[in-house]
């Protein structure tokens, strides 16, 4: 799947679930490219902004869309790496939304 | 520790890490960075220990600027930390 196909197809599916790609198109395309790189490297789409342990079972909570997306978008209007955002955040003037890491640190080791 | 005391622990796929580096570039400051995901698993351990000391969540980017530590791409905090250098 190419970046543009991902943007169109996945975007449509996720919009139906209430999750929108950020309006920052350049950032979104970079993140999508990174997801495709991780798919190539690990065989699954690990979040571009988290360190994979390269074992699917240990990384399953951070396979995009990660399990933290829902509470993060709920609380901050954005997922950890700013790929998915709420409609409200896209409509606001906020350019960059910092989202603290919700994932328990011991899941990294 | 690099000469000018700025070190970014990053991932090669992380856009917020890239944005943090671009911000430092714009500020014309020299820094070192380490893409931890490009290290072999065994090589990562000492670095992850260090990152966890600086940032208990061990998330990326973790940016050490002198004595300050900025977690995440936060422009204001990065600029403030640079002023304290």
State whether residue B17 sits within 8 Å of chain A by CB. Answer: yes
In the A/B pair of chains, how many CB contacts fall below 8 A?
Answer: 63
User: How far apart, in whole angstroms, are the C-alpha atoms of residue B11 and residue A96?
Assistant: 19
Q: What is the pTM of this model?
A: 0.94
Predicted ipTM beyond 0.90: yes
For residue A108, is pLDDT > 60?
A: yes
- What is the per-residue pLDDT for A93? 80
pLDDT means per 10 residues, chain B with 85 residues, are 80 97 95 97 95 97 97 97 94
Q: Using a pLDDT cut of 90, give the percent of chain A over it.
A: 93
Give me the DSSP letters along A33-46: HHHHHHHHHHSS-B
Nearby residues of A31 by Cβ (< 8 Å), 6 or more positions away: A48, A81, A82, A83, B15
Q: What is the CATH number of domain B3-84?
A: 3.40.30.10
The radius of gyration of chain B's CA atoms, rounded to the nearest angstrom, is: 12
Q: Where exactly are the structural domains of chain B? A: 3-84
Is there a contact between B11 and A96 if contact means CB atoms under 8 Å apart? no
Nearby residues of A50 by Cβ (< 8 Å), 6 or more positions away: A62, A66, A80, A103, B11, B59, B60
- What is the per-residue pLDDT for B7? 97
Find chain A residues with C-beta within 8 A of B52's C-beta. Answer: 105
For residue A79, is pLDDT > 80?
A: yes
User: Per-residue pLDDT tens for A47-66?
Assistant: 999 999 999 999 999 999 99
Alpha-carbon gap: B73 to the closest alpha carbon of chain A (Å): 7
State whether residue B72 sits within 8 Å of chain A by CB. Answer: yes
Tell me the average pLDDT of chain A.
96
User: How far apart, in whole angstroms, are the C-alpha atoms of residue A74 and residue B27?
Assistant: 34
- What is the per-residue pLDDT for A91? 92
- What is the per-residue pLDDT for B4? 67
| Four-point Cα dihedral B30, B32, B35, B40, nearest 10 | 160
- Answer for the pair A59, A68: CB distance below 8 angstroms, yes or no: no
């Amino acid at each position: 799947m190419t970046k543009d196909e991902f943007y169109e197809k996945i975007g449509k599916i996720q919009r139906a679930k209430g999750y929108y790609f950020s309006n920052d198109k350049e950032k979104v395309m970079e993140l999508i490219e990174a997801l495709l790189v991780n798919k190539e490297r690990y065989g699954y789409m690990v979040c571009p902004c988290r360190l994979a342990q390269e074992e699917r079972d240990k990384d399953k909570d951070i396979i995009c869309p990660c399990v933290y997306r829902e509470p993060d978008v709920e609380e901050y209007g954005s997922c950890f790496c700013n790929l998915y955002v709420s409609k409200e955040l896209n409509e606001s003037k906020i350019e960059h939304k910092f989202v603290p890491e919700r994932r328990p640190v011991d899941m990294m080791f | 520790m690099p000469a000018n005391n700025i070190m970014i622990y990053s991932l090669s796929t992380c856009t917020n890490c890239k944005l943090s580096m671009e911000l430092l570039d714009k500020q014309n400051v020299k820094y070192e960075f380490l893409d931890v995901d490009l290290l072999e698993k065994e090589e990562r351990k000492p670095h992850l220990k260090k990152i966890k000391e600086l940032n208990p969540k061990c998330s990326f980017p973790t940016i050490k600027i002198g004595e300050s530590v900025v977690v995440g791409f936060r422009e204001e905090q990065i600029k403030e930390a640079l002023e304290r250098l």
